[in-house]
């Protein structure tokens, strides 16, 4: 392979820039031309493609967001859109593609692979919901952003002796809620992967109150439902003064943590290695701190799971 492309797609995540940098520098290290595709699959369809040089990715390792921009692209879900994308790649002589993103982006890479175009997926999403990797790029940074918020909310919650419901991102995955809830000492963690009983949530809060707790924190993943709705139910059932914080897109921004920068650098470079070895149709990950790769056609069929032991632990520690 003499020319490869790279794009970022879907919801951005801190560390995507570090991954792009790694892809670009690793390709150039091996004397391979590298092309940036801007605005994800929409930009691919429209031919927003530019050759990148070493300097193109200077001064970005520490920056959140993605220098290549990102987009969600319904057109790429159609065969027509996918074929237009392949035409653009061929027009530029690009022979392999690195796709950095979450499950929607992987779906696009899977489709390109099925059309015979070699792709390697790199897991970039704050949700940590890509099978075949212990961690996705951006999860650690998002987690630290959430922890920072929980710690601050805890201060004011204590002063006012209030209950707080903190809604975090994760439409289908509870990893951000589970990890941040555990690290933030939340009384209750609600995640889409586990059923919950509102009566149990209430009685747990009441038990804490009777023991003299001055505040309570409930972390809820957006996939479970609205934090506002849950807060309303809590207040009605307990008459504890309750407030809600929906953290929203603040979780997607910010300078990537050292962990995410290192992860992104390792995974980005590994994706290029695979393409250069002629191994398309793969997605990279890290498992037990080893770089691994899996068949991208199979990985999306695997369900996302949470760490059951960690979930159990979170319940045991918040009795």
* Sites of contact with ligand F6P (CB under 6 A): 11, 72, 102, 125-127, 169-171, 222, 252
Tell me: is residue 73 an annotated ligand-binding position: yes
Q: How far is the CB of 7 from ligand F6P (least distance, A)?
A: 16
Evaluate whether 314 touches 182 at the Cβ level (below 8 Å).
yes
Residue closer to ligand F6P (CB basis): 281 or 285: 285
Q: How far is the CB of 126 from ligand F6P (least distance, A)?
A: 6
59 catalytic? Reply is no
Tell me: is residue 108 an annotated ligand-binding position: no
Counts of helices then strands in the chain (DSSP H, E):
11, 11
Tokens of 110: 């899977």
Q: How far is the CB of 179 from ligand F6P (least distance, A)?
A: 14
Tell me: is residue 187 an annotated ligand-binding position: yes
Tell me: is residue 214 an annotated ligand-binding position: yes
Instruction: Please state, in angstroms and rounded to a whole number, the distance separating the CA atoms of residues 13 and 141.
Output: 9
Residue closer to ligand F6P (CB basis): 126 or 244: 126
Tokens of 287: 């498992």
Instruction: Please state, in angstroms and rounded to a whole number, the distance separating the CA atoms of residues 245 and 85.
Output: 41
Q: Quick count: other Cβ atoms within 10 Å of Cβ 209? A: 16
Nearest-CA neighbor of 6 among 59, 64, 48?
48
Tell me: is residue 22 an annotated ligand-binding position: yes
Give, in degrees to the nearest 5, the angle at Cα 139 between 135 and 143: 130
Q: How far is the CB of 10 from ligand F6P (least distance, A)?
A: 6
Tell me: is residue 266 an annotated ligand-binding position: no
Q: How far is the CB of 35 from ligand F6P (least distance, A)?
A: 25
Evaluate whether 116 touches 277 at the Cβ level (below 8 Å).
no
Evaluate whether 139 touches 128 at the Cβ level (below 8 Å).
yes
* Residue keyed to tokens 């690195």: 98
Residue closer to ligand F6P (CB basis): 221 or 275: 221
Of 12, 59, 127, 260, which one is the catalytic site residue?
A: 127
Instruction: Please state, in angstroms and rounded to a whole number, the distance separating the CA atoms of residues 143 and 106.
Output: 23
Task: Report phi then psi at 137, rounded to 5.
Answer: -70, 125
Residue closer to ligand F6P (CB basis): 118 or 174: 174
Residue closer to ligand F6P (CB basis): 79 or 228: 228
Task: List active site positions.
Answer: 127
> From the annotation, which residues make up the binding site for ADP?
21-25, 154, 185-187, 211, 213-215
**Annotation: binding site:** 11, 21-25, 72-73, 102-105, 125-127, 154, 162, 169-171, 185-187, 211, 213-215, 222, 243, 249-252
Which residues participate in the annotated binding site for Mg(2+)? 103
């Amino acid at each position: 392979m003499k020319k490869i492309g790279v794009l970022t797609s879907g919801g951005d995540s801190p560390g995507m820039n570090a991954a792009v940098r790694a892809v670009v520098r690793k390709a150039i290290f091996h004397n391979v031309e590298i092309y940036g595709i801007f605005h994800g699959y929409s930009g691919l369809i429209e031919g927003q493609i530019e050759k990148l040089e070493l300097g193109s990715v200077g001064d970005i390792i520490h920056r959140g967001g993605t220098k290549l921009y990102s987009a969600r692209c319904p057109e790429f879900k159609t065969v027509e859109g996918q074929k237009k994308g392949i035409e653009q790649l061929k027009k530029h002589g690009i022979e392999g593609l690195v796709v950095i993103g979450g499950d929607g982006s992987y779906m696009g890479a899977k489709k390109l692979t099925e059309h015979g175009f070699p792709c390697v997926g790199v897991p970039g999403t704050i949700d940590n919901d890509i099978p075949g990797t212990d961690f996705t790029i951006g999860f650690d940074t998002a987690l630290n952003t959430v922890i920072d918020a929980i710690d601050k909310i805890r201060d004011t919650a204590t002063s006012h002796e209030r209950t707080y419901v903190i809604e975090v991102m994760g439409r289908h995955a509870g990893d951000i809620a589970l990890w941040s809830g555990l690290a933030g000492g939340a009384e209750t963690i609600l995640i889409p992967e586990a059923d919950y009983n509102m009566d149990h949530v209430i009685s747990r809060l009441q038990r804490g109150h009777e023991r003299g707790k001055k505040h309570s924190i409930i972390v809820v993943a957006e996939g479970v439902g609205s934090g506002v709705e849950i807060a309303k139910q809590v207040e009605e059932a307990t008459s504890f003064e309750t407030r809600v914080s929906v953290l929203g897109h603040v979780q997607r921004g910010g300078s990537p943590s050292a962990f995410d920068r290192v992860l992104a650098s390792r995974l980005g470079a590994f994706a290029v290695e695979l393409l250069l070895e002629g191994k398309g149709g793969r997605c990279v990950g890290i498992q037990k701190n080893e770089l691994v790769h899996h068949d991208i056609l199979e990985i999306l069929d695997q369900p996302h799971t949470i760490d059951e032991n960690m979930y159990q632990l979170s319940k045991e520690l918040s009795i």
